[in-house]
Amino acid sequence: MLADSEKAFWFPALDSWRSRLRRARRVFVVIAAAAVTAWATTGCAAATSGPGASGHGPPPVTVLTQGAGNGNGDIFIAPQGGGGYASGPEILTDTGKVIWFHALPAGEAATDFRTQTYQGRPVLTWFQGSGLSGTDYIYDDRYRQIAEVRAGHGYLTDFHEFLITPWNTALILADTIGTANLTSMGGPADQKVFDGIVQEIDIRTGKVLFEWNSADHVPYRDSHQPLPGSAAMPWDWFHINAVHLDTDGNLLINSRYTWTTYKVNRDTGKIIWELGGKQSTFKLAAAPGQVLDSAGEIFAFQHDPEAIGNGEYTFFDDESDGSARLLPHSRVVTVKLDLATRVATLVKSVDQPEGLVAPAEGNAQTTRNGDLFVGWGELPYISEFSPSGQLLFNAQLPAGVSTYRAYRLPWHPAS
């Protein structure tokens, strides 16, 4: 589900979980029929200027540090947040010039906009919606919709993740409200809870091929999130925000509020190992020049676990949920796992260039030349770092505007 700082857009001013669900069901129906206005000329690669569905254009991007002209590709963001600007998926050059922008109807937003490969061809993908839920879309290289994906089994599609696998299925997230007996940890016997769901979906048919529920595998006591004041108010104890593939094809599932990334067997759903949190499989260590946070953790409130090979992983390390703060700034960390000794070592980190802390969201992508491209979540910045940690590129969105994730990827639309 959503962190408090995310709720400002996704479900403002709702009095109870029942009213939230009623509203979400209405949204789910409306989204499927919503008309979307695109700035791209049909069948053309370049964008054309004009008003979006909200009557405004995309927010300007100010390049603060320009020095990443390295052929890593174009910049993919999905700005949202207001300021009179339109929201929607957007492709930019590394000088901030708009290549393509897909303006969404007022009140909707997009997340996780990027290029992926589907059935051997390059495509554009993103989540789009409002309220609690929405739809995952796939567009071809002529900017035409060719498929859409929604969660199965009656669940609402979560905005955090839309990943196409090498075998042409989709890994997505969803949420469900359950009831938990928390008396063993001093809580109510009938506490409403938000449980995190992973689904693998057959894109062509919509069939659910695999499903994983956090409540079936992780004890509630592992959460760092305080209980709400009422048993009727759902407890966002897990807050699932990513599912990725490890190098061996198994899953990396991330929980913001247990401060843990779980490696999960993609066939059985069983947890293979846990990194971070109260039951970490690994002893945590910091290499010379690196520091653990004030809780002795490598990361906290984190997002976006990415396997980069040779037992190394990157994580966007928020270190804050908008109230608690374990470091004075957010960062991206690289962790080396030794499966034999069960030691996880923080080997490298890059700090947010302005020294700020992101209260939510964020990602870090290792580019094809080994650079690190970072979207700083709710902070209005995107950056690129060399493998040695040198800041090569830094850009800023207007105040109050952010992008859930940011990527730098090659894109060659059909002409």
Q: Name every residue whose Cβ is closer than 8 Å to that of residue 361 and which is 6 or more positions away in sequence.
A: 6, 303, 318, 375, 377, 378, 402, 404, 405
CATH value at residue 45: 2.120.10.30
**Number of domains, the chain:** 1
- What's residue 55's pLDDT? 52
Place of tokens 């059909």: 414
> Residue 414 domain-assigned?
no
> Residue 175 domain-assigned?
yes
Cβ atoms within 10 Å, residue 391: 16
- Cβ atoms of 321 and 350 within 8 Å: the answer is no
Domain encompassing residue 47: 4-409
- What's residue 11's pLDDT? 41
- Chain centroid to Cα 114, Å, comes to 12
> Residue 156 domain-assigned?
yes
In order of 15, 57, 411, the CA distances from 48 in angstroms are: 42, 11, 18
> Residue 54 domain-assigned?
yes
> Residue 61 domain-assigned?
yes
> Residue 259 domain-assigned?
yes
Q: In what order do the strands lie in the sheet with 407-409?
A: 98-101, 90-92, 74-77, 407-409
- What's residue 43's pLDDT? 33
> Residue 415 domain-assigned?
no
Mean pLDDT by 10 residues, the chain (415 residues): 51 34 33 33 35 69 89 96 92 95 95 98 97 90 98 96 98 97 97 98 98 98 98 98 98 98 98 98 98 98 98 98 97 98 98 98 97 98 97 97 97 93
> Residue 389 domain-assigned?
yes
Q: Does pTM surpass 0.85?
A: yes
- What's residue 133's pLDDT? 80
Per the DSSP assignment, residues forming a β-bridge with 399 are: none
- Chain centroid to Cα 283, Å, comes to 26
- What's residue 366's pLDDT? 98
Nearest Cα to Cα of residue 115 among 60, 75, 159? 75
Strands (E), 12-97: 62-65, 74-77, 79-80, 90-92
